[in-house]
Structure 1
Amino acid sequence: MTIPIKKISSFCKTGSGGTPSRSNNAFFENGTIPWVKSGELKNRYITEVEEYITELAVEKSSAKLVSKGSLLIAMYGATVGEVSQLTFDATTNQAICNIQPDENVCDVNYLYRFLEASKPYLLSRRVGGGQPNISQGVIKDLEVPLPPLAEQRRIAAILDQADELRQKRQQAIEKLDQLLQATFIDMFGDPVSNPKGWEVGCIGDMLESVKYGSSDKATLEGEIPILRMNNLTYSGEMDLRDLKYITKVQADEKYLVKEGDILFNRTNSKELVGKTAVYVGPEPMAYAGYLVRGRTKENFAPEYISAFLNSPWGKEKLQSMCKSIVGMANINAKEFQSIVLPIPPENEQMHFKARVLAIREKKQLLVNQLNVFETLFKSLQNQAFNGTL
């Protein structure tokens, strides 16, 4: 059976919103109408918004009311191509395209799944310089395969089930991240009040060496992977999905990290400066100049130092001490070593390290499972919209 294919413009109502003038307080003050911004399109459903506008704002601006159940696609900004569904009537800014399908032609959940699968294509159609965007015309010209409604609903249900498996694994991973934070608090308490009465010192007291990374230019191909600031996450993990490389000649021993080394992001935006993670190996890698490598003495656990810097107290301390220079914030190696913290006994630190490693081992199993489910989901997406599911 040949599946009919139609452009979105032929069976959907589409439109975009607007931003009421912020110079007029009457447009925002005591507003009761939800106003969605493109940056809020991150999840399947829009269940809350940061800002509300007034009826006067709707009347006097291009921000028009969009009905509950409509689909929203971000046309520019950091979330370009992301799609969400409204759970209430709302307005949007001009960076969002709203889509309302004819329910006699297309199931809205099926269309959501199609648009979700179309994100790579939409990203490929971006134009512009500093902030590439897609036009409403690109979205309206999308060609959607439209089997009978019953078949659309069957396909959407299969993808919903596969997506639920992904979401459950992701939620389990997030709970393990919370467990890491809870373990730190349970064992050490508030490091500012130091309820255990442990000796107080500086991070430098616990380190045998501290070195800056390599300033050599990295390339997409090479012999030795080099870790950069994007390879450290805000929560204190190593993310090795986007690596660059240098040559063996460039990879001097002083620029290599080994298992158990602390990496500290000394220069970044004010919100991200001070990102810290422990390198878990196993093979040595190089590290770039915006990072500082700290190597602990034998009787100290790098996981304790990292957990302290990634705790709410550590983040607050880093924010208070960083210096801003031309839009970037900086904390140098000497300042990194000067950070004051309680220093628990060796046995306490090693017990914490063992618990951290056990939690991370469980997390890695879940990450591996999540990767399998991601692959399965993409395969089902491909089958769903080429007529083979």
Structure 2
Amino acid sequence: MSYPLIPLGQLAKFINGDRGKNYPSKDSFVDAGIPFINAGCLSDRWLLDSSKFNYISAESYDRLSSGKIQKYDILFCLRGSVGKFAVIRDDNKGALASSLIILRSNEKVDVEYLKHYLASSLCSRELDNYQNGAAQPNLSANDFKKFLVPLPTLTEQRRIAVILDQADELRQKRQQAIEKLDQLLQATFIDMFGDPVSNPKGWDKEKMDALMTIVRGGSPRPIENFLGGTYPWIKIGDATKGDDLFITKTKEAITEEGLHKTRLLPEGSVIFANCGVSLGFARILKIQGCIHDGWLAFQDISEDKIHKLFLLKALNSITQYFRDTAPDGTQPNLNTAIMKNFELIIPPMDLQLKFIAIVESIVKQKKILENSNIQFFNLFESLQNQAFSGTL
């Protein structure tokens, strides 16, 4: 059976934040107070990430004429990360930034059912239909209200929500198991080698400049003129999801003309993000590719002294140190001179190889879990499709 399709605007009240003269500026943020919630606070699990909150005073909050959250509100992102959302699960006060909108469901729809609709491929297709192709993705509230929601009875909505919640819990447990393996690997590194900066185990140290050649990437500009080729163009986004060791593919590629203004690296190269919010993490290339000027590359590594995977994990374990070391500015930036002078610990190679064997074992376990996770994701998506088509 199929369900009637009801415009979202008939199922929820849409509430914008106060965008007038009382809208909080960055200068008005305080260390502790009432959360002022922006898109960065929306986690991938449909919850708020309180570690990302900005705060405003009670006085600033009281001056706001709208955009104050309530329990079971859904906060939905209309600009930038369009489609991300979170469900409010407590009675705490909070106000939302201009990129978000509140969906306050009415008596016709169960909020847990609505949550699963917003997370479904059905909603994603609606988003694709209404986004305007601008450089920064955005969706108007008026268009959002037109989204068509399959609407069974409330009893059936609740039954569907329970089934999808249970399936999602299984999916999340697989993801948590993968994250725990990453944590185990980091803990194993610290247990075997200690902190690479304070060096409590007293390992020999050498400047990175003596162990490898450090070079910076380059950026052909404007980059749009050089995209669409066959040479992989490695961006920060290619290194932040899934694999925390290797880069195996890129979303974009540049033309041969762009090679003259960038740096083409062979497979096996170690790269390091040297600026911005991603400063301090490293990856090993499983492909040849070009790097922009936000990357450093480590070449001609003395592999009789330092294994590439050990180098990678050593650098990734002290990300915060590098961020603290970077010169002050709007964007932290580590130049090649700073990296060349950093003293890297050099434990005995047999101990490094013992660690590498552990890395390889954990990578295999992660691969098994990731394949299982893909199967669970496909199952979950199938259940969603059945739920909204009336066949679950």
What is the TM-score normalised by the length of structure 2? 0.80
Distance in structure 1 (CA, Å) of the matches to 2:355 and 2:322: 22
Amino acid aligned to 2:90 = F
In the TM superposition, 1:342-357 aligns within 5 A as: 342-357=345-360
8 Å CA contact 2:228, 2:255 repeated in 1: no
Alpha-carbon distance, 1:53 to partner: 4.9
Q: 1:132 to 1:276 in 2, by over 3 A?
A: same
Amino acid aligned to 2:142 = G
Distance in structure 2 (CA, Å) of the matches to 1:24 and 1:188: 41
Amino acid aligned to 1:277 = R
Alpha-carbon distance, 1:327 to partner: 5.5
Query: Which residue of 2 is the match for residue 257 of structure 1?
Result: 266
Alpha-carbon distance, 1:171 to partner: 0.9
The total of aligned residue pairs comes to 374
Amino acid aligned to 1:197 = G
1:164 equivalent to 2:192? Answer no
Q: 1:120 to 1:323 in 2, by over 3 A?
A: farther
Correspondence for 2:105 among 77, 101, 106: 101
8 Å CA contact 1:17, 1:91 repeated in 2: no
Moved more, 345-354 or 20-29: 20-29
Query: Which residue of 2 is the match for residue 278 of structure 1?
Result: 284
Query: Which residue of 1 is the match for residue 312 of structure 2?
Result: 306
CA deviation string 1:325-379 (max 9, x = no partner): x9573522x5433321221111121112222222222122222222222222223
Which secondary structure does the structure 2 equivalent of 1:144 belong to? strand
Alpha-carbon distance, 1:215 to partner: 6.2
Amino acid aligned to 1:244 = E
Where relative contact order (Cα < 8 A, 6+ residues apart) is larger, the structure is 2
Query: Which residue of 1 is the match for residue 301 of structure 2?
Result: 296
Alpha-carbon distance, 1:239 to partner: 4.2
Distance in structure 2 (CA, Å) of the matches to 1:53 and 1:86: 18
Distance in structure 1 (CA, Å) of the matches to 2:343 and 2:129: 48
8 Å CA contact 2:234, 2:291 repeated in 1: yes
In the TM superposition, 1:198-237 aligns within 5 A as: 198-207=203-212, 219-220=227-228, 222=230, 225-233=232-240, 236-237=244-245
Which secondary structure does the structure 2 equivalent of 1:192 belong to? coil
8 Å CA contact 1:80, 1:123 repeated in 2: no
1:196 equivalent to 2:201? Answer yes
Query: Which residue of 2 is the match for residue 329 of structure 1?
Result: 333
CA deviation string 1:2-50 (max 9, x = no partner): 522211222322212226454799997974x554333212232347473
Correspondence for 1:45 among 43, 47, 53: 47
Distance in structure 2 (CA, Å) of the matches to 1:360 and 1:245: 27
Distance in structure 2 (CA, Å) of the matches to 1:12 and 1:23: 29
Q: 1:315 to 1:295 in 2, by over 3 A?
A: farther
Moved more, 18-27 or 114-123: 18-27
8 Å CA contact 1:231, 1:238 repeated in 2: no
Alpha-carbon distance, 1:111 to partner: 0.8
Q: 1:28 to 1:120 in 2, by over 3 A?
A: farther
Query: Which residue of 2 is the match for residue 174 of structure 1?
Result: 179
Distance in structure 2 (CA, Å) of the matches to 1:27 and 1:285: 45
8 Å CA contact 2:273, 2:281 repeated in 1: yes
Alpha-carbon distance, 1:214 to partner: 7.3
8 Å CA contact 2:76, 2:100 repeated in 1: yes
Distance in structure 2 (CA, Å) of the matches to 1:247 and 1:74: 35
Amino acid aligned to 1:200 = K
Moved more, 162-171 or 16-25: 16-25
Alpha-carbon distance, 1:227 to partner: 3.6
8 Å CA contact 1:251, 1:286 repeated in 2: no
Moved more, 36-45 or 20-29: 20-29
8 Å CA contact 1:176, 1:363 repeated in 2: yes
Q: 1:367 to 1:346 in 2, by over 3 A?
A: same
8 Å CA contact 1:322, 1:331 repeated in 2: no
1:359 equivalent to 2:362? Answer yes
1:238 equivalent to 2:246? Answer yes
Q: 1:63 to 1:239 in 2, by over 3 A?
A: farther
Amino acid aligned to 1:278 = I
1:69 equivalent to 2:77? Answer no
The Cα RMSD (Å) is 3.6
Query: Which residue of 2 is the match for residue 10 of structure 1?
Result: 10
Unaligned residue ranges in structure 1 (runs of 5+): none
Distance in structure 2 (CA, Å) of the matches to 1:91 and 1:198: 50
Query: Which residue of 2 is the match for residue 87 of structure 1?
Result: 89
Alpha-carbon distance, 1:244 to partner: 3.3
Moved more, 79-88 or 39-48: 39-48
CA deviation string 1:220-267 (max 9, x = no partner): 453x54544433339953344534346799999x944234x322234x
What is the TM-score normalised by the length of structure 1? 0.81
8 Å CA contact 1:201, 1:342 repeated in 2: yes
Which secondary structure does the structure 1 equivalent of 2:139 belong to? coil
Distance in structure 2 (CA, Å) of the matches to 1:96 and 1:249: 41
8 Å CA contact 1:6, 1:143 repeated in 2: yes
